[in-house]
Amino acid sequence: MNLTKNIGRGSSFHTILVLVYLLPIHPAQGFLLKVITADCIQGTIWTPPPNTVQNMKKSLGSSEEIASKMENIFQIVKANPFRNPFFSSGSNGNQSDIGTLKTPVPTRAIHFASAADPDEVPFGSMKYFLLCGLGGAISCGTTHTAIVSLDLMKCRMQVDPVKYSGLIKGFQVSLKEEGMKGLVRGWAPTFIGYSMQGMCKFGFYEYFKILYADLLGPEKTYLYRSLVYLAASASAEFIADVALSPMETVKVKIQTKPGFGSTLREAVPKIMSTEGFGGFYAPLVPLWARQIPYTMMKFASFEKTVELLYQYVVPKPREQTTKGEQLIVTFAAGYIAGVFCAIVSHPADTMVSKLSQDKNATAGDVYKKIGMAGLWKGLGTRIIMIGTLTALQWFIYDGFKVTFHLPRPPPPPPPPSLQGK
């Protein structure tokens, strides 16, 4: 094969060789180019005129000197501030490590599409984050919509505990007054709002988990992995609630204010005309107070529960389990996490419902009116709802990852530097 037709002869090719090493390219590509250019110099795929080889040898030195110079340039390129923070060229320049991705937890080295799964999405790539967001939208949007009747009863028990004194009584009263159709009030804003929230929550959680672990380094990431989960989930939920707030406001008003409107088309213009655009974000701060602790517990307790289940309950190592068995573990861990989530976030959830019912009320006003006991009204219903909800969300999300060939790293073992300690 003669490359001179495409890239020119003599010094022009020499210039191209040098420029190749100065480009801020991905390390895997850099290694490939090093192989190609080294082969070119040796004449295995390109045989330049004798004078060109002599000139190159004079200017570049011996083959050992060439390799040393190129490696130094390659290391400088890798350290440039514009590199992708999620990629690593491996340790000590080993060829076998090239193409390895940095992961949230040390030793979770996930390579590009492997022979076992040639369709696997590169871990930490933009496609990976977007698909994680899509999986989160599907898992949150569908599950919240599926239990909208339970959510309706929970909200009504919070805002009118006399009329809706219990779950069964609440269903009886609602069926009598509104029929079966009334049990799904607010399904549209629920589906839209929680789909948007789920996309941001899961997508940004995966992003921040990698980012914070990359900042801490392998040892600290392993030792403080629960803090990484907590910080990543809190950061993701902060963003997700901004996306959720407008539809959450509409949903609560539809479900708890008689005569306000029964559909999304009716409710949105009413809020705009009476409260303006800011009305959609009136409960945002209480929503943060409810959702951020909830999500921190949801992700951190899930990750830890999965780790403990594989360590003490599952009778065989994770790598020996089938994908179906892994999804069962996911569901169990999700339900356990959901119970903790419901308890941690319930007082703030009650506050959100009360504030959405009365736009002029403050958190202090609500607390004076209902007291500490009132903040915990409807907890039993919410435990059932959130436990089932969280388990299904993790099950759907993990199943989505399996279906779309997204990497699913196992619980982390300690990094080599800590294994002997």
* Euclidean distance between CA atoms 59 and 18, whole angstroms: 12
Instruction: Record the tokens describing residue 26, joined without a space.
Output: 């991905």
156 and 59, same structural domain? no
Asked whether residue 307 is domain-assigned, the answer is yes
Domain boundary among 83, 107, 137: 83
145 and 65, same structural domain? no
pLDDT in tens, 132-158: 999 999 999 999 999 888 888 878 887
Average pLDDT, the chain: 76
pLDDT at position 365, please? 79
183 and 38, same structural domain? no
276 and 198, same structural domain? yes
* Nearby residues of 363 by Cβ (< 8 Å), 6 or more positions away: 286, 351, 355
Q: Which of 339, 279, 281 is nearest to 305 (CA)?
A: 339
Q: Let me know: does 237 contact 341? Beta carbons within 8 Å.
A: no
Maximum average pLDDT range among 54-68, 75-89, 205-219, 402-416: 205-219
Asked whether residue 134 is domain-assigned, the answer is yes
Q: Determine the average pLDDT of the residues in 251-261.
A: 83
pLDDT in tens, 67-90: 565 555 545 444 444 444 444 444
CATH of residue 330's domain is: 1.50.40.10
Q: Determine the average pLDDT of the residues in 392-399.
A: 94
* Nearby residues of 108 by Cβ (< 8 Å), 6 or more positions away: 409, 410, 412
The Cβ of residue 415 has, within 10 Å, a number of other Cβ atoms equal to 16
Asked whether residue 121 is domain-assigned, the answer is no
The conformation of residue 312, written as its DSSP 8-state character, comes to I
46 and 147, same structural domain? no
* Euclidean distance between CA atoms 56 and 58, whole angstroms: 5
Q: Determine the average pLDDT of the residues in 281-293.
A: 88
Asked whether residue 304 is domain-assigned, the answer is yes
181 and 316, same structural domain? yes
Asked whether residue 420 is domain-assigned, the answer is no
> 62 vs 416, which has greater pLDDT?
416
Structure confidence at residue 245 as a pLDDT band (50, 70, 90): very high
173 and 54, same structural domain? no
| C-alpha separations of 80 from 23, 74, 77, 292 in Å | 10, 10, 5, 36
The torsion angles phi and psi of 314, rounded to 5 degrees, stand at -65, 125
Domain boundary among 49, 83, 117: 83
Asked whether residue 98 is domain-assigned, the answer is no
Domain count, the chain: 2
* Euclidean distance between CA atoms 283 and 270, whole angstroms: 17
The torsion angles phi and psi of 342, rounded to 5 degrees, stand at -60, -45
Task: Give percent above pLDDT 90 in the chain.
Answer: 31
136 and 76, same structural domain? no
> 23 vs 170, which has greater pLDDT?
170
Please measure the distance between the N-terminal and C-terminal CA atoms of the chain and give it in whole angstroms.
Answer: 55
222 and 79, same structural domain? no
- Asked if residue 32 has pLDDT above 80, the reply is no
Q: Determine the average pLDDT of the residues in 204-217.
A: 94
pLDDT at position 286, please? 84
* Euclidean distance between CA atoms 62 and 45, whole angstroms: 20
Task: Give percent above pLDDT 70 in the chain.
Answer: 70
pLDDT at position 138, please? 97
Q: 65: domain range?
A: 4-83
> 161 vs 70, which has greater pLDDT?
161
Q: Determine the average pLDDT of the residues in 323-334.
A: 92
The torsion angles phi and psi of 276, rounded to 5 degrees, stand at 75, -175
pLDDT at position 237, please? 96
Given the structure tokens 């709802």, which residue do they identify?
385
> 279 vs 5, which has greater pLDDT?
279
pLDDT in tens, 301-313: 999 999 999 989 9
Domain boundary among 83, 116, 142: 83
pLDDT at position 378, please? 78
* Euclidean distance between CA atoms 148 and 146, whole angstroms: 6
- Asked if residue 22 has pLDDT above 60, the reply is no
Task: Determine which of 53-62, 150-159, 164-173, 346-355 has the lowest per-residue pLDDT on average.
Answer: 53-62
70 and 210, same structural domain? no
- Asked if residue 19 has pLDDT above 50, the reply is no
- Asked if residue 4 has pLDDT above 50, the reply is no
Q: Determine the average pLDDT of the residues in 339-368.
A: 78
247 and 141, same structural domain? yes
- Asked if residue 37 has pLDDT above 60, the reply is no
Q: Let me know: does 282 contact 359? Beta carbons within 8 Å.
A: yes
Asked whether residue 189 is domain-assigned, the answer is yes
Structure confidence at residue 44 as a pLDDT band (50, 70, 90): very low
130 and 74, same structural domain? no
- Asked if residue 159 has pLDDT above 60, the reply is yes
Asked whether residue 93 is domain-assigned, the answer is no
